[in-house]
Amino acid sequence: MKPSHFVNFVLACLVSWVAYSQTDEAIFKKLDEIAIIDQKVMMPMRDGIRLATDIYRPKTTEKVPIIFSRTPYNFNSWGDGKRRTRTAERAYEAVKRGYAYVVQNERGRFFSEGEWDILGMPLTDGYDAFSWMKDQPWSNGKIGTYGCSSTAEWQMAVAALDHPSLAAMVPQGFGAGVGTVDGLVEQGNWYRGGAEQLLFFSWLYGVEHDKYKPRIPSGASQEDLIRISRFYDLAPENPEVDFSKAFFHLPIQDMLQNIHGKREIFDKMVRRKPNHEDWYKGGLYHDTMDLKTPGFWFVSWYDVSVTPNLYLFNHLRNKSKDIASRDNHYLVIAPTLHCRYTRATENTVVGQMSVGDARLNYDEQIYKWWDLWLKGQSNDFKEKTPRVQYYTMGSNKWQNATQWPPADVKMVNYYLNSKGTANTSSGTGTLSRRKAAKDTPDAFTYDPMNPVPSVGGNVCCMGNAVDGGAFDQQEVEKRSDVLVYSTPPLKEGVEVSGFIEATLYVSSDVKDTDFTIKLVDVHPDGTAYNLDETIQRARYREGYDKEVFMEKGTVYKIDLTPMSTSNYFKKGHQIRIEISSSNFPRFARNLNTGGTNYDESKGVIANNKIHHSRKYPSHIRLPMR
């Protein structure tokens, strides 16, 4: 990060913190004036476990609809200016508009009883919560779910249970709740192309409560819970870890043990292969589930799971078994990091790149959505709200479409060409509309002990190891193990909006290795901003239900998981891709042995090749308009 960017970032954080600490107590006072506040209500589940719940509802005798947020995160806040959660702000906004706002901790989190498991708690917890809320004398029986990231990821699988009171949902940054959808097998962002995404390694370290944590005695009264929570909120504070170093530890199965993290959930997950049966037993949504609940979906270009999120939206729009429900899904795609929708400003900066004024009237649209489905108002949401609202970077503007990708997009093939020396940005690699006449493969050496570093990207939750967003890739492109293919400077600007598909023809001298690809926008001054990236583990090239290893020197076709963006490549810019075999620590390193990888400490060097010719037409497919 450049010094100027760092200074601006620190100043922005300070301003935000001061403003928040000054208004936290004030917002609670305003909330107290209009709301009946009922905190630490212990909502019973069917197995007797009680979940800690705070309820904020209007001071009225009329029955009201409910906006429900269930989360693993700490929402304990008392308006004293010391505990700065956003619960009061959200509750105030809901109550003043005539809604009850209900926030609840997942089982095993903070004051909720039971044992926690990431997306592994019973789906019945959500169903039972809906039943309890609809039966309250102040409820009109209509419930909407709302939240981002872990507060969104549980919503889809529970919605598929089709509770009669669940009327609508607003999931934001929800990709870690997606298991499998239309050929993508991500299993809640644990995998991408069969390679582990290390974000959950650091996330679990930071959030998981210890099994030996202090526990409130069973049957504690609401009065006692309120009193206790005012001075003791059960929030763990793990020692700070330098994840830029911790992620290098091998074997990866011992990574959390090496930093003294809690390991039970991690130990189970790190050993699961992409198609392990346990991925289908917890709280992940899979496309075998029928989801009828109307959804207003929010996605970010620089989020970790933008492509799976968009695949899920398309699946519900085009393949839902309940044909009538297909019309009840709407999509917003913002040019922000994970869950940063409302932080867009007149000059929105994502990483190092300015994307202009990316503000949007989120609250107005969301509450029109709630009014339609929870209050039954005959408003103009469906008439006035575009099916898809997406932000195009480069041209820096919001655009509308009737589908994703936009209907007028045309897929255009760009073939890899070179003289056999595409290594580094100074090499001979090009992207051309024509296939190479003969095969002059580009070779590079992948050493797992010296992986290509992740610089920016579509990431989340990686501690100090990787900053998300667009960053200049020029230093990465100087490495000899990075192949670079670029168009000539564009004579006219072009918009690329949709899924970017890639097919590579590869060979290696090892049984298994990875292949990575990154899409880049190169400015006339040479600055090379990343847009999206993906990876494919070679052993899973024929599917995730089997492993097929490579034979030395044999050429194999690999189709990578699609990337996604909406970017206007201006006149004079270049469209570029980078290819290698690592993008670390964004993705776990393949040690190239053909073994289990998670329990191995020593790797072998792979000599990999990318082939391009009429026989081996390695190419990318760009959605152009």
Residue 401 lies in a domain: no
pLDDT at 324 over 80: yes
Nearest Cα to 269, choosing from 180, 198, 181, 184? 198
Cβ atoms of 420 and 442 closer than 8 Å: yes
Residue 79 is predicted with a pLDDT of 58
Residue 333 lies in a domain: no
Residue 478 lies in a domain: yes
pLDDT digit string (tens) for 512-556?
A: 999 999 999 999 999 999 999 999 999 999 999 999 999 999 999
Last residue of a domain, one of 272, 288, 304: 288
Q: Does residue 419 share a domain with residue 281? A: no
Q: Which helix (H) or strand (E) is 529 found in, with range? A: strand 528-537
Please state the domain count of the chain: 2
Note the pTM of the prediction, 2 decimals: 0.94
Last residue of a domain, one of 288, 316, 343: 288
Residue 25 lies in a domain: yes
DSSP result, 32-58:
HHHEEEEEEEEEEPTTS-EEEEEEEEE
pLDDT at 4 over 70: no
Residue 385 lies in a domain: no
Q: Give the 3-state secondary structure of residue 386.
A: coil
Better-scored residue on pLDDT, 41 or 343? 41
pLDDT digit string (tens) for 570-595?
A: 999 999 999 999 999 999 999 999 99
Last residue of a domain, one of 288, 315, 344: 288
Q: Does residue 220 share a domain with residue 75? A: yes
Nearest Cα to 368, choosing from 358, 357, 376? 376
Residue type, 549: F
Q: Does residue 280 share a domain with residue 417? A: no
Q: Does residue 198 share a domain with residue 52? A: yes
Q: For residue 377, is it left (φ>0), alpha (ψ between -120 and 50) or beta?
A: beta
Q: What's the CA gap between 218 and 234, in Å, rounded?
A: 16
The catalytic site residues sit at 149, 303, 338
Mean pLDDT (whole number) for 156-176: 97
Q: Give the 3-state secondary structure of residue 398.
A: strand
CATH code, 516: 2.60.120.260
Q: What is the dihedral of CA 15, 21, 25, 31, to 10 degrees?
A: 50
Residues near 18 by beta carbon (within 8 Å), at least 6 away in sequence: none
Residue 94 is predicted with a pLDDT of 98
Residue 114 lies in a domain: yes
Residue 265 lies in a domain: yes
Q: What's the CA gap between 559 and 612, in Å, rounded?
A: 14
Tokens of 46: 């069917």
Residue 574 lies in a domain: yes
pLDDT at 564 over 70: yes
Range of the domain at 273: 3-288
pLDDT at 18 over 60: no
Mean pLDDT (whole number) for 91-110: 96
Work out whether strand 184-185 and strand 191-192 pair parallel, antiparallel, or are unpaired: unpaired
pLDDT band at 10, cuts 50/70/90? very low
pLDDT digit string (tens) for 43-55?
A: 999 999 999 999 9
pLDDT at 230 over 90: no
Total residue count of the chain as it appears in this document: 625
CATH code, 165: 3.40.50
Cβ atoms of 143 and 332 closer than 8 Å: no
Q: What's the CA gap between 100 and 64, in Å, rounded?
A: 6
Q: What's the CA gap between 289 and 280, in Å, rounded?
A: 11
Q: Does residue 197 share a domain with residue 48? A: yes
